[in-house]
Amino acid sequence: MPGGGEMVIIFLVLLLLFGASRLPKLARSMGQASKEFKTGLKEGYTPEEIEGPCPFCEVKVPAEAKFCPGCGKSAEDIVAEKSRKSA
């Protein structure tokens, strides 16, 4: 991470490159990009829902479970196996 002095230099360089009038617009678009980046990260971490019984042991798995209560397979394995079977 750049320190305070480096931030000032970066700011001055940006000021020279884009001009003072364009900086607020640039800052806004940068803020928007980082907001969208965070939203994307959040969506990436949404756990996959398990629907119906486990494809390995046919035991009913709760949707928010991380492991099958019957065979101990992980939710990722169950989702992968389900999509493999339905394909």
Residues of the shown chain interacting with Zn ion in the complex, contacts defined by CB under 5 A: 54, 56-57, 68, 70-71
- Is residue 23 classed exposed, middle or buried when 0-12, 13-18 and 19+ CB atoms within 10 A define those classes? middle
23 vs 57, beta carbon nearer Zn ion: 57
Q: Nearer Cβ to Zn ion, position 65 or 71?
A: 71
Q: C-beta of 78: minimal distance to Zn ion in Å?
A: 7
**Minimum distance of Zn ion from residue 62's CB (angstroms):** 12
Chain residue whose CB lies nearest Zn ion:
54
User: b/e per residue, 42-58, with b = 16+ CB within 10 A?
Assistant: eeeeeeeebeeebbeee
